[in-house]
Amino acid sequence: MNSNEATYKNSKKVPFILRNIVLVIIILIATIFLFDRNPSNDDVGWVAFIVFWTVKSGFDFIEDRKNGRKVSAIINLTLIAIGFGILLWQMISFLSL
């Protein structure tokens, strides 16, 4: 294994690690808000779960496009659209109160 191959493998690991760190932070925020004693924070926890779902689908969409998996990319794009729709609906209902 020469240094170019090692550098290439390390450059592939960094985005994967950063992606997982972002997803873990979002899931921790969601669980903190869902399982605290204040029941009014449950809405924030569910919205954080929807954000997690949307962000994970976005990362999967990008990966599927790179690897040429068109059907899976379309499914992930649909999940992203549904996630944004739910987030938009929650934002509108929150602001209309």
AA letter at 4: N
Q: How far apart, in whole angstroms, are the C-alpha atoms of residue 81 and residue 88?
A: 10
Digit-coded pLDDT (tens) for 4-20: 666 656 566 778 888 89
Q: Which is higher by pLDDT, 31 or 2?
A: 31
Q: How far apart, in whole angstroms, are the C-alpha atoms of residue 3 and residue 36?
A: 49
Output the pLDDT for position 44.
87
Digit-coded pLDDT (tens) for 35-54: 888 888 888 899 999 999 99
Q: Which band of pLDDT confidence, cut at 50, 70 and 90, is reported for residue 21?
A: very high
Tell me the C-alpha to C-alpha distance, in Å, between residue 50 and each of 6, 68, 71, 95.
37, 26, 22, 18
Overall pTM surpassing 0.85 (yes/no): no
Contact criterion met (CB below 8 Å) for 43 and 30: no
Residue ranges per structural domain of the chain: 30-97
CA triplet 51, 57, 59: central angle to 5 degrees? 105
Cβ-based neighbour number of residue 52 at 10 Å:
20
> How many residues are present in the chain?
97
